[in-house]
Amino acid sequence: NAMSISKNHGAVEKRITNLRSSPLYRTVKKDVKTNLNHSKTGLNVLNSLTHIRDSLKENLVKAPLFKEFGLDYLGPVDGHDIKALIKVLETAKEHDGPIVVHVVTKKGKGYPFAEQDKLGKWHGVSPFDPKTGQSLIKLCTDELSWSEVISKTLIRLAFKHPEIVAITPAMANGSKLLEFARLFPDRFFDCGIAEEHAMTMAAGMAQGGLHPFLSIYSSFLQRAYDQINHDVARMDLPVVIGIDRAGLVGDDGATHQGVFDIAFLRSIPNLILSQPKDAKEAQNLLYTAFMTNAPFCIRYPRGTIPYQKNEEFERIKIGSWTCHIVGMPETILITYGPDVDRIIQKAKENSIGLMVVNARFFKPLDTKLLDTLIKEKLPIIIYETDIKAGGLSSAILEFMSQYDERIKIIGIGDHFVDHGSIRILRKEEGIDMESVFKELEHYEHAPRSSSDRSL
């Protein structure tokens, strides 16, 4: 539709826009196919007709790029001409094998504001006045989107650190990186919609001495799981990954819900995974990420947040949480992100005694603070707004299992497994049969209470 969320790049895009097809080829091919199916004049006729068909295909269709991939091609066709579109689709339906149908449309056709959009503003919209095209959502003057907070901080850091570069897989506008691209055109890289390539390129840049920031939507990060695992984390490279649109995204659509990244990233060794509760913490976490020589992920949600520029950055201790006391605490609530301040405010309004823990790191956990919290003997609620399986609650329960002598977890630790035979590796990781039965023997001779025996 001659419109992308971000500008197209590369020779493939230029080649595709120049592709043409022959109407003569489509007509003759259909006739040849009919003749081949009904011909009773022998093998020679079949061979001749096949040769004619292949010659037409070779000489009349100007789509060599698709031919190299074993694909046939139809188009371009006007996507707003319904009769022509139906005819082409009917032709494609009769085709044997894969075929590319090139349909040209105009994005936002019929609505001038959308038709004239060059930045992707109308790709997804909030409520607006159809007469003026102006959004009906009014932001407070001191609020910015989380993406803007990260982008502004990135720009400030980039002025001081020339090794910082920014990468996006075609989401420069959504991730608010257009200003970075304008200020540092030689340090900005748009990979197109290729998250896997973006992650591997970030790894290569880090290996070469740069310090890349890769901005990527949570739901799109799923595509680059293999690359973040093998190319970034296994190499223990200093790549900073900004996980945009983390958590629920509302009207963006079911497939865009960013609720899986904590679970699928927490199992990867060498990786630091965090989320700020407010703009100040976001700025300090990004600063900390660039001061840390390790893979560092910062997730942040869709939406806006009150913003005030940090005059000075503060380095945050990796894996540290913070506690906020409301009244006389009767319960401990562990959570993360902007919900931390919302819960504190609501607890104050309702005079509820509560200890609110800002679990700003999912990996590593603040095990020292967790030790202290467990000794408080207060009820603990873990409140997370993402998938529970593999999330923050899973991490905390794994840690707390060591406090119950009846529970022993045997498995591979938080590290990459070396090369070796299965027998040797199982022994080194403590998951061989001998190790299992040593634990069983220990529990067999351990004293039990009457309540244990009744179980």
Residues annotated catalytic, as ranges: 107, 195, 223
Count helices and strands in the chain by DSSP H and E runs: 19, 15
Question: Which residue type is seen at 407?
Answer: I
Q: What does the block give as tokens for 144?
A: 């910015």
HSE-CB of 325 using CA atoms within 13 angstroms: 5
Q: What is the CA radius of gyration of the chain?
A: 29
CA–CA separation, 57 and 21 (whole Å) = 10
Q: What does the block give as tokens for 42?
A: 């022998």
Kindly report whether the peptide bond that precedes residue 130 is cis, defined as omega within 30 degrees of 0. Answer: no
Q: What does the block give as tokens for 13?
A: 């895009």
Question: Which residue type is seen at 161?
Answer: H
Helices 146-160 and 279-290, interaxial angle, to 10°? Answer: 40
Residues 6 or more apart whose Cβ sits within 8 Å of residue 39: 45, 46, 49
CA–CA separation, 373 and 78 (whole Å) = 65
Torsion angle of alpha carbons 260, 262, 263, 269, nearest 10°? Answer: 140
Residues 6 or more apart whose Cβ sits within 8 Å of residue 324: 340, 344, 355, 356, 357, 358
Q: What does the block give as tokens for 100?
A: 């590319």
DSSP secondary structure letter of residue 416: P
Question: Which residue type is seen at 435?
Answer: S
3-state class (DSSP) for residue 358:
strand
> Is residue 112 packed enough to be buried (19+ CB in 10 Å), middle (13-18) or exposed (0-12)?
exposed
Question: Which residue type is seen at 372?
Answer: T
